Structure 1
């Protein structure tokens, strides 16, 4: 059946790929994945050893990542043209009779790059999306403690937000998951300090993957800005209190 399938890969450990994604990846004859030019690509690394012999690989190389401000006209123009071009190429493959599997780290509908292809293609060709465990789930599991309790409100923030907005959200939320840290980590540290939350924050780098690192953010050097990292603040909400032994 000619169609486009996006397979969510989960947080990074291949053992955490769903059975369904695993099955379609191993059977695929066309695999597409995003990567930075000159890099292997994180999604491709996760599936190393899983691909069938003779599979055709389509590396979708971003024209820009962090070289330009994400809100600049040039950034938006380059990314829009990139997604338009790859949507057209994938559509042509499917309409030519191919089944194409697009790899997506985490969950495809949770800040995934595939969303930009999906909105361009969903009315043009058959598209199936296989959900995956979001990366932050693997990260908070790595800390060994629940991220939310009872009525806690979990807020997911992008570190690219203006600092004053980060502070406002951080003050209101019970638990926090902060994505897209990288070079924005100093801003996140300042915002957490201003909100009185820095002492409770954890930095989880490469959660569930080889080289996983877990550290109190307050103890991390300000210049240490890993790309594959999430900042977490755990909630401490309502829970049953254990009765004292008589």
Structure 2
């Protein structure tokens, strides 16, 4: 019998936001696999570390941080056979994934390569969007509000139309796109409706009104924007921002 493949959602960074199921699987799995940025440490592993055991084997998936699709896919092409070998030997493998595995999660790549071949279970995690809403005390939506999650990598026209079509918006993956996205929101007259959240649940967390930010942002940052009319949400947004 083959081992089982688990995609384990770890939440945005705070180890206390892991689910009980996630912590159990992390303790029991024979093998732990996790993404590793070029020349850096693994955020996913650091989140899971309190729940890992000394006897577990580890597979580091060394990612190439490129805007091109092919280099990033190559890392998963190399990792998939290593994980498959462990599964074929009957060992359970837990793949660590920041946030939620199926919400812009890196586990999607391994699921596409291995999920149809081996018993696979996806363990949901707290997404950065939900954690940011809780941390900033900004309700995301209510009643008939439309909520859109948008990557900052979209072109200007696509972002503008998507923001216009929803009452509530979360814009992710800011990084080098931040100044452009900030200017778009300013041009729509919505800056005072937006909050900036950076590295939620991690060291260096920052939360402040969008209008008080500079012109640069890390990849792990987002903008929460509400332009709807639900009274309860508007009352909450009129409260003080957390710093």
TM-score (normalised: structure 2): 0.89
Over aligned residue pairs, what C-alpha RMSD do you find?
1.8
Could you tell me which residue of structure 2 aligns to residue 23 of structure 1? 24
Q: Cα 1:41–1:240, aligned 2, differ >3 Å: closer, same or farther?
A: closer
Could you tell me which residue of structure 2 aligns to residue 123 of structure 1? 116
Deviation at 1:239, TM superposition (A): 4.9
- Specify the SS of the correspondent of 1:169: helix
2:232 paired with 1:231: no
Which runs of 5 or more residues in structure 2 are unaligned? Answer: 234-243
Q: Deviations over 1:45-93 (max 9, x none)?
A: 111222111221111011x214xxx3xxxx2222232222211221111
Q: Which runs of 4+ in 1 moved over 3 A?
A: 235-241
- Structure 2 Cα separation of the partners of residues 240 and 227 of structure 1: 31
2:3 paired with 1:2: yes
Could you tell me which residue of structure 2 aligns to residue 209 of structure 1? 202
The answer (yes or no) to whether the contact 2:147–2:167 under 8 Å persists in 1 is yes
The answer (yes or no) to whether the contact 2:4–2:92 under 8 Å persists in 1 is yes
Could you tell me which residue of structure 1 aligns to residue 41 of structure 2? 40
Deviation at 1:135, TM superposition (A): 1.1
- Structure 1 Cα separation of the partners of residues 40 and 55 of structure 2: 21
2:79 paired with 1:86: yes
TM-score (normalised: structure 1): 0.88
Deviation at 1:13, TM superposition (A): 1.0
- Structure 1 Cα separation of the partners of residues 33 and 228 of structure 2: 41
The answer (yes or no) to whether the contact 2:10–2:125 under 8 Å persists in 1 is yes
Deviation at 1:240, TM superposition (A): 7.3
The answer (yes or no) to whether the contact 1:28–1:100 under 8 Å persists in 2 is yes
Q: Cα 1:174–1:240, aligned 2, differ >3 Å: closer, same or farther?
A: closer
Q: Cα 1:240–1:10, aligned 2, differ >3 Å: closer, same or farther?
A: closer
- Specify the SS of the correspondent of 2:51: coil
Which runs of 5 or more residues in structure 1 are unaligned? Answer: 242-246
Q: Deviations over 1:184-243 (max 9, x none)?
A: 101111221222222211110111233321011111111x212211111135433579xx
- Structure 1 Cα separation of the partners of residues 217 and 226 of structure 2: 21
The answer (yes or no) to whether the contact 2:38–2:65 under 8 Å persists in 1 is no
Could you tell me which residue of structure 2 aligns to residue 244 of structure 1? none
Could you tell me which residue of structure 1 aligns to residue 160 of structure 2? 167
- Specify the SS of the correspondent of 2:179: helix
